[in-house]
């Protein structure tokens, strides 16, 4: 991990003090029959004054296959792995997991065990909209605070979905039960974009940083509407072979909708120390959103 001079200047202009950094993914190894870290971050040469909050993503299948007797050892390994990668004092650990009814018990127990390992820090976790609205069904994780992921709302795999990243009309259907939610919530807003590749009605792949190539090359891609394109002739795109007739849906976040998030959410987030995060930090993305604009977005929450 290394920040560019542009990214550093941008963060400084926005007066950012904290970065949530994914340290690793935790997935299930079927051969070893145990959880295994993947995509481990490299911070050896990282130098900055930002506070880094370690974040790890845990797959549902890890929690589905792990035996309860393995959970204490896993909690210990998670904490040890985080501490081995950290380059500064840790004040908070964040766990990212879209748990299900089948994995709730194992996940909540794992959180409790991590808390026992690190009693002197904040323990936070990502929270989806449906987990607030249906908290009586999904349960509330044993953590100090949550990070509401206000994105990835729609069904990305469905052809008829307009924008799976940010759909405010869909979001409104889930803005319930916040007044009864037991833990304070921060919020994470999306800046990213992607292109969804479909073949014969089935989603094939998510592709990044190809939207301009698609929209500007009319010899290979036929524009259906503002966000949908059809492949005119078989071709390669970012290393992926596309067949004639494949369909592409470009999904992004427009400025108007992003700015409306604060107005929509501020009545529901009862957190006196609300932290607003943006996903994710990337020079290409930041060129689309000025720091002045993101400051305006933050101001909508007050």
pLDDT recorded at residue 256:
97
pLDDT in tens, 117-152: 999 999 999 999 999 999 999 999 999 999 999 999
pTM attached to this predicted model: 0.95
> Does the domain spanning 5-192+252-299 belong to CATH 3.20.20.80?
yes
Question: What does the pLDDT average to over 264-284?
Answer: 93
Mean pLDDT of all residues belonging to the chain = 95
- Among 156, 158, 246, 235, smallest CA distance to 200 is for 246
- Residue 18 β-bridge partners: 51
Cα Rg of the chain (Å, integer): 20
Q: For 39-93, how does the pLDDT look when each residue is reduced to its tens digit (9 = 90+)?
A: 999 987 777 789 999 999 999 999 999 999 999 999 999 999 999 999 989 999 9
Region 88-106: what's the mean pLDDT? 96
Domain ranges of the chain: 5-192+252-299, 194-251
Q: What is the mean pLDDT of residues 153-166?
A: 95
């Amino acid at each position: 991990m290394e920040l560019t001079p542009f990214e550093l200047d941008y963060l400084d202009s926005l007066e950012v003090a904290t970065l949530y950094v994914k340290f690793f993914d935790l997935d299930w190894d079927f051969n070893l029959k145990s959880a295994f870290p993947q995509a481990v971050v490299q911070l050896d040469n990282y130098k900055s004054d930002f506070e880094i909050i370690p974040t790890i993503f845990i797959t549902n299948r890890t929690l589905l296959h792990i035996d309860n007797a393995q959970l204490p050892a896993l909690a210990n390994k998670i904490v040890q792995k985080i501490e081995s990668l950290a380059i500064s004092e840790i004040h908070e650990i964040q766990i990212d997991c879209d748990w299900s009814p089948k994995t709730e018990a194992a996940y909540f127990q794992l959180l409790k065990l991590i808390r026992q390992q690190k009693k002197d820090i904040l323990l936070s976790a990502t929270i989806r909209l449906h987990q607030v609205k249906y908290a009586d069904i999904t349960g509330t994780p044993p953590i100090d605070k949550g990070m509401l992921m206000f994105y990835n709302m729609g069904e990305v795999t469905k052809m008829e979905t307009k924008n799976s990243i940010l759909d405010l009309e869909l979001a409104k259907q889930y803005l319930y039960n916040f007044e009864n939610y037991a833990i304070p919530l921060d919020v994470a807003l999306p800046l990213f974009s992607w292109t969804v590749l479909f073949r014969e009605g089935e989603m094939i792949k998510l592709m990044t940083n190809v939207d301009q190539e698609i929209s500007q090359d009319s010899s290979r891609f036929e524009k259906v509407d503002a966000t949908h394109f059809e492949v005119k002739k078989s071709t390669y795109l970012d290393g992926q072979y596309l067949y004639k007739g494949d369909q592409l849906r470009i999904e992004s976040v427009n400025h108007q909708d992003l700015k409306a998030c604060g107005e929509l959410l501020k009545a529901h987030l009862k957190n006196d120390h609300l932290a607003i995060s943006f996903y994710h930090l990337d020079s290409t993305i930041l060129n689309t959103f000025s720091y002045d604009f993101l400051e305006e977005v933050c101001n909508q929450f007050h």
